[in-house]
């Protein structure tokens, strides 16, 4: 099938490439000329493990191409996916900014030829697909098309595997014709026993927000329990393991940490709160999760301060990991972008390392941070070390070397990577999250 993907970001580029891997013919479109020029030369503008190999394979085999020109990409397509960004609005009120979606819809409209399904893959408030429908009809009253919703559940850093082996595919449709097109696109996954949940467009749109909000609630829940564990001298790792063994609870997303971040949970929880408010309803559990997440980041600042003897002023802090999670270069809403400025405001100096995120970090973090080539250089002369993001390369650090480099052997493990006893035996003053 001929597919066009509008937007070649973390979602569009991965899903477009994976559709090509299924055997479809995919054209990826983006308004960003630099991105497209890079992709045309085989340069991948983001870090996502395995993506470079898959892009190269599918471009070489003639199933994947990139362009800035919708006129070249849309007319031949039987399905046009919209995967542009839906960030929080700049007004700061939590509403999703739909301007990129609507601009894309307007441009697609003029180029539609023959029956086409226009599919929202971006995470969008309930009613957006209907608005896209209205825009296309206004711009091109002759167009023969249906709109549909096909939310995406992949995670950054594991995006290809998540897309190729999803727990389910959700398709929101209002016509059998559109459903048939979507089922054909996802047939390779269906053949591998992936459940396809076919529903109304509104249900599909809300399902995406509900899924992200539930995961955010789960993380905030364990972060709050971690705090209780510290007060009552309990161990959150054992506790999470024990409750997670209950199939009704499940073991995933019960890792305490510095608070959830990333391009989606923070913005999507806020957007859900606004959608719900507009309909005169409440999602108090989600509101609480958002509050707890902000408090968790503030708690991490306090934890670091306490480990520095009550004040960070004039102290040097080594930070390992800056991105919101490992295996991505994405810095959007990373906890480091809240925690580090708070410490710097009080006069702390930061020496930081991240395997893939330092280029992006320079844009998201305050000036004055010293970026180092490796973990040991970051530790050089520092008064404590904070493990912020659990990259694999920080899981087996040379503790002796680290201790020698640090001014004071203080290790603050915000991801509970290390064993407290081992760290104490190695001569560190150690603290994690949720373990006294
Ligand atoms: P992104 O910012 O990485 O990419 C968006 C791309 O769209 C950019 O390259 C931008 O230049 C392009 N774009 C904007 N307007 C355009 C237009 N009119 N025509 C063509 N291209 C245009 O965003 P992302 O992280 O890929 O997220 C996209 C959507 O998918 C969001 O709604 C997000 O919530 C959702 N989502 C993201 C993830 C994730 O892991 N990042 C996972 C699931 C769902
Ligand atoms: C998340 C969802 O997991 C995806 O299903 C969804 O498609 C995506 O958002 C989206 O809509 O964009 P992502 O943000 O890439 O994916 O990464 P996650 O692995 O979910 O991690 C999000 C944040 O939660 C990270 O900061 C991570 O460190 C934190 N987290 C995650 C925890 O603190 N504890 C956990 O147990 C799990």
Half-sphere exposure of 191 (CA within 13 A, CB side): 6
Which secondary structure element, helix H or strand E, spans residue 156, and what is its range? none
Nearest ligand to the CA of 333 is 2
Q: CATH topology of 2-199 equal to that of 299-431?
A: yes
Structure tokens at 182: 């979507």
| pLDDT per position as a tens digit, 385-397 | 999 999 999 999 9
Percentage of residues of the chain with pLDDT beyond 70: 100
C-alpha to C-alpha distance for 110 and 286, rounded to whole angstroms: 40
Atom of ligand 2 nearest to the CA of 415: 33
Atom of ligand 2 nearest to the CA of 268: 11
Q: Report the distance separating Cα 94 and Cα 273, nearest Å.
A: 8
Ligand closest to Cα of 10 equals 1
Angle between helices 201-232 and 265-278 (to 10 degrees): 120
pTM (2 d.p.): 0.97
pLDDT of 22-72, one tens digit each? 999 999 999 999 999 999 999 999 999 999 999 999 999 999 999 999 999
Q: What is the rounded average pLDDT for all residues in the chain?
A: 97
Strands (E), 286-383: 316-320, 349-353, 370-371
**d(Cα 349, Cα 314) in Å, to the nearest integer?**
7
Q: Is the CB of 153 under 6 A from ligand 2?
A: yes
Beginning with the edge strand found earlier in the chain, give each strand of the sheet holding 370-371 in spatial order.
370-371, 349-353, 316-320, 384-387, 410-413, 429-431
Q: How far apart are CA 259 and CA 250, in angstroms?
A: 19
Residue 430 has pLDDT above 80, yes or no: yes
CA distances from 24 to 63, 114, 161, 361 (A): 7, 18, 18, 36
CATH class of 299-431: alpha beta
pLDDT at 88: 95
Contact 85 CB / ligand 1 (< 6 Å)? yes
Separation between Cα atoms, residue 411 and residue 318, nearest integer Å? 10
**CB of residue 255 inside a 6 A radius of ligand 2:** yes
Compute, in angstroms, the gap from residue 142 CA to the centroid of ligand 2. Answer: 42
CA of 120 to the centre of ligand 1 (A): 11
Q: Which of 18, 28, 229, 264 is catalytic?
A: 264
- 219 CA distance to ligand 2 middle (Å): 9
Q: pLDDT class for 436, splitting at 50, 70, 90? A: confident
Distance 12 CA to ligand 1 centre (A): 6
Tell me what percent of the residues of the chain surpass a pLDDT of 90.
Answer: 100
User: What's the pLDDT score for residue 246?
Assistant: 98
Tokens coding 375 = 């973990």
Residue nearest to atom 3 of ligand 1 (CA): 9
What the block records as the tokens of 333 is 């809403």
Which atom in ligand 2 lies closest to the alpha carbon of residue 253? 36
Phi/psi at 25 (nearest 5 deg)?
-100, 115
pLDDT at position 323 is 98
Mean pLDDT score, 270-282:
95
pLDDT digits (tens, 9 = 90+) for 318-350: 999 999 999 999 999 999 999 999 999 999 999
Nearest alpha carbon, ligand 2 atom 19: 155
Q: Which ligand is nearest to the CA of 87?
A: 1
Q: Is the pLDDT of residue 181 over 80?
A: yes
Alpha-carbon span 25 to 58, nearest angstrom: 9
Mean pLDDT of 351-360: 98
Centre of ligand 2 from the C-alpha of residue 251, in Å: 14
Question: Which sequence spans correspond to the domains of the chain?
Answer: 2-199, 299-431
CATH of 2-199, one of 3.40.50.720, 3.30.70.100, 3.40.390.10, 3.40.630.30: 3.40.50.720
Q: Which ligand is nearest to the CA of 7?
A: 1
Q: Is the pLDDT confidence value at 149 over 90?
A: yes
Is residue 86 pLDDT above 90, yes or no? yes
**Residue of 213, 386, 234, 411 whose CA lies nearest to 297:** 386
Our mutation pick for probing the ligand 1 site, out of 6, 83, 139, 333, counting the most ligand atoms within 8 A of Cβ, is 83
Catalytic site residue 264? yes
- Per-residue pLDDT, averaged over 85-90, amounts to 95
* Helical pair 284-307 and 265-278, crossing angle rounded to 10 deg: 150
pLDDT at 291 over 80: yes
């Amino acid at each position: 099938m001929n597919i066009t993907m509008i937007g070649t970001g973390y979602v569009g580029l991965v899903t477009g490439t994976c559709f090509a891997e299924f055997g479809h013919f995919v054209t990826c479109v983006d308004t960003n000329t630099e991105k497209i020029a890079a992709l045309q030369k085989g340069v991948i503008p983001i870090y996502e493990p395995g993506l470079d190999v898959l892009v190269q394979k599918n471009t070489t085999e003639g199933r994947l191409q990139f362009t800035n020109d919708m006129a070249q990409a849309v007319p031949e397509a039987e399905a046009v996916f919209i995967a542009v960004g839906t960030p929080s609005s700049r007004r700061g009120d939590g509403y999703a900014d739909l301007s990129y979606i609507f601009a894309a819809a307007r441009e697609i409209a003029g180029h539609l030829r023959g029956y086409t399904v226009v599919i929202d893959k971006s995470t969008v408030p309930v009613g957006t697909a209907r608005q896209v429908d209205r825009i296309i009809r206004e711009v091109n009253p002759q167009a023969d098309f249906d709109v549909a919703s096909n939310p995406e559940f992949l995670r950054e850093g594991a995006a290809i595997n998540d897309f190729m082996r999803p727990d389910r595919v959700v398709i929101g449709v209002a016509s059998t014709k559109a459903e048939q097109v979507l089922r054909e696109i996802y047939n390779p996954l269906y053949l591998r026993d992936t459940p396809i949940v076919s529903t109304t467009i509104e249900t599909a749109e809300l399902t995406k927000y509900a899924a992200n909000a539930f995961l955010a609630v789960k993380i905030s829940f364990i972060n709050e329990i971690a705090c209780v564990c510290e007060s009552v001298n309990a161990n959150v790792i054992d506790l999470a393991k024990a409750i997670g063994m209950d199939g009704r609870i499940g073991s995933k997303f019960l890792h305490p940490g510095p608070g959830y971040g990333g391009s989606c949970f923070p913005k999507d929880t806020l957007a859900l709160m606004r959608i719900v408010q507009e309909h005169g309803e409440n999602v108090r559990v989600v509101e609480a999760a958002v509050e707890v997440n902000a408090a968790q980041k503030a708690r991490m600042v306090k934890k670091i301060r306490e480990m520095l003897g009550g004040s960070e002023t004039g102290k040097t802090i080594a930070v390992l990991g800056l991105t919101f999670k490992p295996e991505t270069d994405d810095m959007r809403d990373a906890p480091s972008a809240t925690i580090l400025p708070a410490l710097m405001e009080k006069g702390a100096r930061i020496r930081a390392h991240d395997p893939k995120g330092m280029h992006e970090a320079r844009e998201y973090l305050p000036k004055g941070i010293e970026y180092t080539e490796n973990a040991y250089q970051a530790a050089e002369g520092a008064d404590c070390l904070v493990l912020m993001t659990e990259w694999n390369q920080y899981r087996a650090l040379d503790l002796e070397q680290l201790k020698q480099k640090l001014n004071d052997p203080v290790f603050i493990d915000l991801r509970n990577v290390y064993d407290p006893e081992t760290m104490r035996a190695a001569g560190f003053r150690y603290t994690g999250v949720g373990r006294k």
